[in-house]
């Protein structure tokens, strides 16, 4: 048997994702024995920092990438939306498997939807993008910071601490918690995070044999859609503090992308769409169209808001 060490975080969702990839690899190459190696990320250690401060900065991926570069593991599996948009030198994004559901969902007490939650209801979310879109629809609701793994977040609703939470559909369904969903948001209306629902499988750039093995997991349409979404975020100069949503799809060989940058105050959005055959071009075209409409000012305002929050808490 050929051994293959897979680096992963130790959360329930990360382990599900890594075991899923290990099973896919075993089906392709029965002679490969995949061993999961759990690696603690900064995000696993630091639990008192809002994710809106650190999303897209490598908060959950940097330690695993270092282990891959150092030869401690042979491949790494991440939630694609956690990867910084700038590629890490020496590493190859070898596969983006068939993407899971991209939508955000509501988990609420008493079966409520966003429209039926009572005035003043407390809604947990770790995302500026989600917060802005909630405020745009229900400015009377109170958005509160939310950290912890998926089961812990759900427990804050079932235990009565919060009235509702918003999180990714893919994570809930992968962990068998889909029965808690009370509303699935239309991805074209309530825009998800760039690359939401997608997995990213990395190896070292010079490891041709492993890259060839992982290439069998790659789904061309999923890669095209996620790359377009990530390119729009990259051109916008977004990252940890930018409330950016994006949703791309491939139909009949044509890639289309809609993205938006949201105003944190009231959910107002600068939005643009484009279509074409090349993910990078489509993503860049959408980003430039939003920048011409003033998206840069919204991104700057979100950074200023984050800086003010950090100053108030220090």
Distance of CA 58 to CAs 140, 239, 279, Å? 34, 10, 23
Q: How far apart (Å, rounded) are the C-alpha atoms in residues 254 and 114?
A: 33
From the list 82, 104, 163, 285, the catalytic residue is 82
Q: How far apart (Å, rounded) are the C-alpha atoms in residues 202 and 95?
A: 7
186 is catalytic: no
Angle among Cα 128, 151, 166 to the nearest 5 degrees reads 30
Residue among 56, 25, 20, 64 at smallest CA distance from 170: 20
What residues form DSSP beta bridges with 260? 245, 271
* 8 A C-beta contact, residue 262 and residue 133: yes
Long-range interactions of 27-35: CB distance < 8 A, separation 24+: 28/213, 28/216, 28/217, 29/2, 29/213, 31/1, 31/2, 32/1, 32/2, 32/3, 32/4, 32/213, 33/1, 33/2, 33/3, 33/4, 34/4, 34/5, 34/6, 35/3, 35/4, 35/5, 35/6
Catalytic residue list = 82
């Amino acid at each position: 048997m050929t051994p293959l060490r897979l680096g992963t975080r130790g959360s329930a969702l990360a382990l599900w994702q890594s075991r899923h990839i290990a099973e896919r690899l075993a089906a392709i190459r029965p002679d490969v024995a995949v061993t999961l190696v759990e690696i603690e990320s900064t995000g696993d250690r630091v639990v008192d920092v809002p994710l809106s401060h650190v999303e897209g900065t490598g908060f959950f991926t940097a330690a695993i990438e270092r282990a891959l570069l150092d030869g401690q593991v042979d491949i790494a599996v991440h939630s694609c939306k956690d990867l910084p948009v700038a590629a890490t030198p020496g590493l190859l994004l070898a596969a983006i498997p068939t993407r899971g559901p991209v939508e955000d969902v509501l988990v609420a007490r008493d079966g409520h939807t966003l429209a039926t939650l009572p005035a003043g209801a407390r809604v947990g979310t770790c995302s500026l993008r989600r917060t802005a879109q909630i405020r745009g629809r229900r400015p009377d609701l109170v958005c509160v910071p939310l950290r912890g793994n998926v089961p812990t977040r759900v427990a804050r609703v079932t235990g009565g601490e919060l009235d509702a939470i918003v999180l990714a559909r893919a994570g809930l369904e992968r962990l068998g918690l889909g029965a808690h969903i009370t509303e699935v948001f239309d991805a074209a209306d309530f825009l998800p995070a760039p690359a939401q629902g997608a997995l990213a499988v990395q190896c070292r750039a010079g490891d041709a044999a492993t890259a060839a093995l992982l290439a069998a997991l790659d789904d061309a349409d999923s890669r095209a859609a996620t790359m377009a979404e990530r390119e729009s975020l990259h051109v916008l100069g977004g990252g940890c503090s930018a409330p950016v949503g994006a949703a791309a799809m491939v139909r009949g060989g044509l890639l289309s992308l809609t993205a938006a940058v949201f105003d944190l105050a009231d959910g107002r959005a600068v939005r643009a769409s484009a279509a074409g055959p090349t993910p990078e071009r489509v993503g860049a075209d959408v980003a430039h169209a939003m920048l011409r409409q003033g998206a840069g000012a919204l991104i700057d305002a979100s950074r200023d808001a984050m800086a003010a929050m950090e100053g108030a808490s220090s």
